[in-house]
Structure 1
Amino acid sequence: MTPASLLDDPRFTGLIDAARALQPRTVALRRQLHKHPELGLDLPKSQAAVRHSLEGLGLRVSTGESCTSVVAVLDGENPGPTVLLRGDMDALPLQEDSGLAFSSEVDGRMHACGHDTHTAMLVSAARLLQSRKGALAGKVVFMFQPGEEGEHGARFMLDEGVLDAAGRPVEQAFALHITSTAPSGVVMCRPGPMMASADAWTVTVTGKGGHGAMPDRAVDPVPAAAAMVGALQTMVTRRFSVFDPAVLTVGRITAGTTSNIIPETAELQGTVRTLSDAARALVQAEIPKVCEHLAAAYGCTSEFRIDTGYPTTTNDAAVAPRVLELATRVLGQKNSALMPEPLMAAEDFSYVLQQVPGAIAFLGACPPGVTPEEAAPNHSNRVHFDESAFAHGVALYAAFALDALR
């Protein structure tokens, strides 16, 4: 459906106004969650807040067994397919320094990635869609998930059957992710790779310890480890196409206990991010190869371990353009933008998109008084999101379901 034809669709009339009317509820829930952040897969307070906010809407609500998830199902008044809308709920282990009046009340925990905003917007979208369920030919699954920040929460919910929660399989899925470094209210999306895969790796280099005054009687693993840092970066530039890139970072090097001892081992830890399964497989094969041969050149041995993270987040070629069309219709042309390139961060909505055609889009929420370039980014202890953007997120969530369930 094109933006021009959407103009004549009565289901979208007044959608943004309805979302703005819900703004006090959206903001109140967001601030409640922001003050009480929880980490990982166990979010009892967040789960309870979501369940309370959904009371009285006539939804079929269930909770997870392996994690503190919430699944709510809205039945339209006519039969049809099923769509899924996702919001994540977990925070980050970070001390908040934003200065907000509703800052975190828990030391060392903060909603620095905006998951509190995602949850609040999705609850308001459920409320908005419930008021228009007569226009829905099908069902909507609202997926409130814990553990997005590295804990594979979406995978837990998939294993527990979230895609079949409505009684028939989900056929399309959509999620929003807020960002402080884009103009407030602007929706950005693209078909194909949207976000990267992310894997953590460790290389242990083993030599022979000894006295710092007599290196010839030892086998020093430190120079070997140091050489690996540069060699791995060269490997990326020589073995990978610029059109199918890999981003490799050595984030930590540890060795030794004091200045006059040559240690027996040195350890490198890092991450690697790619935008395709082929590049991901290649980099996982090349890192141990480079390190093994460099270690041998220095008389050492090496051991490689990898902690597999999230896969590439890939938007459906048909769904992503439709998200931008909906944003144009509901929010206006200036608030819909084709994202020119993927983001190399990772997202566990990728697990959902591996099984169901769908898309994730970014929602700009740069705070007033600063430019997107100046704004503290997501995962910063000072990040701040413009709350006026929430109505755009609520309206777009609702529009996606209304458009899919004709």
Structure 2
Amino acid sequence: MSLHLSSPTTSSLTKDAAALQPELTQLRHALHAQPEIGLHLPGTQERVLAWLDGLGYELIPGKGLSSVTAVLRGTAEVTGPRRTVLLRADMDALPVQEATGLPYSSRIDGAMHACGHDLHTTMLAGAATLLADRRHEVAGDVVLMFQPGEEGHDGARIMIEEGVLDASGRRAESAFGVHVTSALAPCGTVMSRPGATMGAADGLFVTVRGAGGHGSKPSTALDPVPVAAEMVTALQSLLTRRIDIFDPAVLTVGVFRAGTQRNIIPDTATFEASLRSFSRETGDRLERIVPELIHGVAAAHGMTADVEYRREFPLTFSDSTEHSTAREVAVDLFGDHRHVTMPHPLAASEDFSLVLEQVPGAFVFLAATPPGA
């Protein structure tokens, strides 16, 4: 379901958006200079609320996080059931030290908008103004989802629990999200694909339990370090021998810890890994066979292992009908040359996938590649 506007209005959208550019640039620079991490973004929330003030939205601040839900009631005549479209922007930054030297560089030590969420927030703020100016042409309702905590803090799940999908008084029929990229295509290119758009993400947490001892006498101990290392290697082989090569998975061990001193065999070794998959079937298979392998390797060495396999974010899946709507809008506004159908999904994950599990929609990418890069 899309908010179809008349051709004259559609053709004026880019002109009106361009007129907003100076204000939007100021907003984006302000957001970039004051990044906030996690679920609680009071300064960002305040800026969003200030932008929306006076535009005629019903505003619902979050309870367990600094979110903003804004509902626009379209006033065009509705034939048939009244429908709702949800548009989402994430707002949180990353724990990264900025060293760009830009005049609007981060003023918060150890925090930076390095993933483009300041752009997302600004784009949705601009869309809020354009939609408010055209409420008389909108046959239905629009819900704007300004979300904190996308970077691993479960912000989408919390907003869903607080009712964002039903904020208009009925369940949203369609949901759309946008993410900028700093590569992949020339600046201004819209990229999308039907079906799997981004990978599912799971977390693996392992503790191998041995028996400590002196480094000179490993035969009197149970050394968990080589066993944990064997598990890491075996997991990579698992992906090539137990997973369909045409429905692949990606595993990265990002944490490995053991011991306190080079001549002491520790009691335990731990590691953590991220797993990505591109179908529900492969995700389910990984959840079953990965713990089996780890327990088997531990048992082969007379040890045990604690294994937690955590299903974190599902596939970001774009509904074919809603993807077609998103593509048509991009082509209508910017021309066919500005849209690219992605040949395969991105391996990264997105918590907007939790919205798309419940509401058909699409997730698209906008290239913000620096000129000449």
Aligned to 2:226: 223
What does residue 168 of structure 2 align with? Answer: 166
Superposition pairs for residues 4-403 of structure 1, below 5 Å? 9-78=7-76, 79=78, 80-181=82-183, 182-370=185-373
Structure 1 position 358, deviation (Å): 0.4
What TM-score does the superposition give when structure 2 sets the normalisation length?
Answer: 0.95
For each residue in 1:8-37, what CA deviation from the matched residue of structure 2 results, as whole angstroms up to 9, or x when unmatched? Answer: 833312211111111112111111111111
| 1:347-373 residue CA offsets vs partner (Å, 9 max, x unmatched) | 111111011110010000111232xxx
Aligned partners of 2:93 and 2:115 also within 8 Å: yes
Q: Name stretches of at least 5 consecutive residues in structure 2 with no aligned partner.
A: none
Q: Secondary structure at the match of 1:46?
A: helix
Asked whether the 8 Å contact 1:250–1:268 carries over to 2, the reply is: yes
Q: CA deviation at 1:310?
A: 1.2
**Helix, strand or coil at the partner of 1:295:** helix
Which amino acid is the alignment partner of residue 149 of structure 2? Answer: G
Question: Residues 291 and 309 of structure 2 are in contact (CA less than 8 Å); yes or no, is this contact kept in structure 1?
Answer: no
Which secondary structure does the structure 2 equivalent of 1:355 belong to? Answer: coil
Distance in structure 1 (CA, Å) of the matches to 2:238 and 2:145: 40
1:294, distance to aligned residue in structure 2 (A):
1.0
Secondary structure at the aligned position of 1:280 is classed as helix
Structure 2 contact 5–138 (Cα < 8 Å) conserved: no
- Counterpart amino acid of 2:54? G
* Residue pair 1:74, 1:139 contacting (<8 A) in 2 also: yes
Kept in 1, the 8 Å contact 2:116–2:180? The answer is yes
Amino acid at match of 2:158: F
Q: Deviations over 1:186-245 (max 9, x none)?
A: 000000011111122111111111111111111111111111111101111111112222
Residues 61 and 8 of structure 1: CA distance in aligned 2, closer, same or farther (over 3 Å):
closer
Aligned length: 366
Q: C-alpha separation between the residues in 2 aligned to 1:91 and 1:112?
A: 7
Matches of 1:81 and 1:161 in 2, distance apart? 17
AA aligned opposite 2:300: A
CA distance in 2, matches of 1:296, 1:357: 45
Runs of at least 5 residues in structure 1 that lack an aligned partner in the other structure: 371-406
Tell which has more relative contact order, 1 or 2 (C-alpha 8 A, sep 6+): 1
Identity across the alignment (%): 51
What are the superposed Cα offsets for residues 93-149 of structure 1, whole Å, 9 maximum, x if unpaired?
A: 110122221011000001111111101110110101111112111111111011111
Give the secondary structure class of the aligned counterpart of 2:313: coil
Partner Cα distance (2:5, 2:38) in 1: 42
Distance in 2 of aligned mates of 1:331 and 1:197:
31
How far apart are the structure 1 equivalents of 2:6 and 2:111? 46
Aligned CA-pair RMSD: 1.5
Contact 1:7/1:329 (8 A) holds in 2: no
- In 2, Cα distance between equivalents of 1:252 and 1:351: 26
* Alpha-carbon distance in structure 2 between the residues aligned to 1:219 and 1:154: 44
